[in-house]
């Protein structure tokens, strides 16, 4: 990736199974605000000089101010860089993105309801290297994992006690990679990466659980399978995929809860594509493409995360290098209109999330070692920086229980 540049001149100076897992003693906790909200931050914890996280960092969130206070750290060097909660919010599954082409893994943890502490249940193979994303099937019976290196998607069964079993199905993504240069990138962009072989970047079922979708950045395709919840097996849908413009690199996506719209963010093109979704057949039909960047932007940017507001009236997307989170209003037909953007107050937002109260958005700024907090305006979707920085080495992903 190209070295990141700061945006301060625009904004001013704003006030694996083999790896031993260690648990840090609980630290001081803030006074209760009446609602316990616990945040879990996954990090990059090994593999390079720039990996500075210690594992899964655990915080208590002040539900009134959004401030995060340290509770614990579940220490592990295995790069728990993506975290997925089960539907009951009693278990966390961590995709351990080990680097260097070695085998990846997924770890299962039980959450202590009173303290938020994590207990490791077990760790199993992710069936590929470099797992970049994991999600839990709506049934709670399976964890789906996308292995970036080599382009492999896998289905891992969840046992009654929350542990993971060996994979029930493994799919190797096949096809010819798209163009090295994205078709839809801004002028002067050098956002070129990952088009030498298949790269699975995200996997998730639709809300019904009947279909599973995987974004392959290099193939420039979103793959679609029918899913048998009894056996945990994937069967290619008809059609088996939908293409985006060559080189654009689909990364993450989100379903609208009405079951009719699907939004895909392209990492290398910095675009959002709105699809109409047919839940009966599991098919996608593109109808709109918009940039995630402001008008007249030129240069290089890589998008990362996309997410809906709690009321599903707004869509948020993170831009890396531009270091911003943009938001879009959603029209009655699902189309998007750019509504605003906010500087992340940090470098290279790897992902972001919204807390259970719906009041705050948290940005994991990977290269500046901090999570920053923004208050959400319910009426406009606008973000306002709260002034809260939380120090975390190379944060990658944050999830909440509360």
pLDDT in tens, the chain (402 residues): 333 333 433 333 333 333 333 333 333 333 334 679 999 999 999 877 789 999 999 999 999 999 999 999 999 999 999 999 999 999 999 999 865 567 899 999 999 999 999 999 999 999 999 999 999 999 999 999 999 998 999 999 999 999 999 999 999 999 999 999 999 999 999 998 789 999 999 999 999 999 999 999 999 999 999 999 999 999 999 999 999 999 999 999 999 999 999 999 999 999 999 999 999 999 999 999 999 999 999 999 999 999 999 999 999 999 999 999 999 999 999 999 999 999 999 999 999 999 999 999 999 999 999 999 999 999 999 999 999 999 999 999 999 999
Find, among 77, 90, 80, the residue nearest to 41 by Cα. Answer: 80
**Prior bond of 239 cis (ω within 30°):** yes
How many whole angstroms separate alpha carbon 340 and alpha carbon 371?
Answer: 21
- Do the strands 152-157 and 142-149 form a parallel or antiparallel pair, or are they unpaired? antiparallel
pLDDT recorded at residue 47: 75
- Do the strands 233-243 and 383-391 form a parallel or antiparallel pair, or are they unpaired? unpaired
The answer to whether 364 touches 396, Cβ cutoff 8 Å, is yes
Exposed, middle or buried, 85 (CB in 10 Å: 0-12/13-18/19+)?
Answer: middle
How many whole angstroms separate alpha carbon 372 and alpha carbon 255?
Answer: 26
The answer to whether 142 touches 165, Cβ cutoff 8 Å, is no
How many whole angstroms separate alpha carbon 257 and alpha carbon 237?
Answer: 22
- Do the strands 250-255 and 233-243 form a parallel or antiparallel pair, or are they unpaired? unpaired
Question: Residue 347: left if φ>0, alpha if ψ -120 to 50, beta else—which one?
Answer: beta
pLDDT recorded at residue 20: 33
pLDDT recorded at residue 193: 79
Instruction: Give me the half-sphere count of Cα atoms (radius 13 Å) on the Cβ side of residue 125.
Output: 11
pLDDT recorded at residue 30: 35
pLDDT recorded at residue 149: 92
pLDDT recorded at residue 22: 31
pLDDT recorded at residue 339: 98
DSSP letter (8 states) at residue 260: S
pLDDT recorded at residue 29: 35
């Amino acid at each position: 990736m190209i070295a990141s540049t700061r945006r301060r001149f625009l904004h001013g100076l704003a006030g694996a199974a083999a790896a031993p897992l260690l648990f840090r003693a609980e630290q001081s906790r803030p006074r209760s605000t009446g609602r316990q909200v616990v945040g879990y931050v996954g990090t990059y914890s090994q593999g390079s000089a720039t990996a500075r996280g210690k594992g899964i960092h655990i915080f208590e969130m002040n539900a009134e101010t959004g401030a995060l206070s340290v509770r614990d750290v579940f220490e592990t060097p295995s790069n728990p860089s993506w975290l997925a909660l089960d539907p009951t919010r009693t278990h966390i599954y961590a995709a351990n993105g080990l680097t260097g082409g070695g085998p990846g893994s997924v770890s299962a943890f039980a959450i202590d309801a009173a303290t938020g502490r994590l207990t490791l249940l077990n760790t199993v193979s992710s069936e590929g290297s470099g797992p970049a994303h994991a999600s839990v099937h709506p049934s709670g019976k399976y964890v789906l994992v996308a292995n970036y290196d080599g382009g492999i998607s896998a289905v891992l069964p969840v046992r009654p006690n929350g542990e993971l079993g060996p994979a029930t199905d493994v799919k190797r993504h096949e096809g010819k990679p798209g163009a090295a240069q994205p078709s839809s990138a801004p002028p002067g962009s050098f956002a070129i990466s990952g088009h030498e072989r298949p790269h699975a970047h995200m996997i998730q079922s639709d809300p019904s659980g009947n279909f599973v979708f995987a974004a392959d950045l290099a193939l420039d395709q979103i793959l679609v399978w029918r899913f048998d919840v009894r056996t945990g097996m994937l069967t290619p849908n008809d059609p088996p995929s939908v293409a985006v413009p060559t080189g654009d690199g689909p990364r993450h996506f989100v379903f609208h809860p009405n079951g009719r719209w699907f939004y895909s963010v392209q990492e290398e093109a910095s675009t959002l594509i709105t699809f109409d979704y047919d839940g009966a057949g599991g098919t996608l039909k593109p109808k709109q493409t918009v940039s995630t960047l402001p008008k007249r932007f030129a240069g290089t940017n890589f998008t990362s995360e996309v997410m809906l507001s709690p009321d599903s009236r707004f869509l948020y997307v993170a831009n890396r290098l531009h270091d911003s989170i943009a938001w879009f209003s959603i029209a009655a037909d699902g189309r998007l209109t750019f509504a605003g953007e906010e500087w992340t107050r940090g470098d290279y937002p790897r992902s972001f999330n919204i807390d259970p109260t719906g009041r705050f958005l948290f940005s994991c700024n990977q290269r500046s070692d901090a999570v920053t907090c923004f208050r959400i305006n319910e009426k406009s979707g606008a973000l306002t920086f709260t002034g809260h920085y939380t120090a975390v080495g190379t944060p990658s992903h944050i999830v909440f229980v509360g």
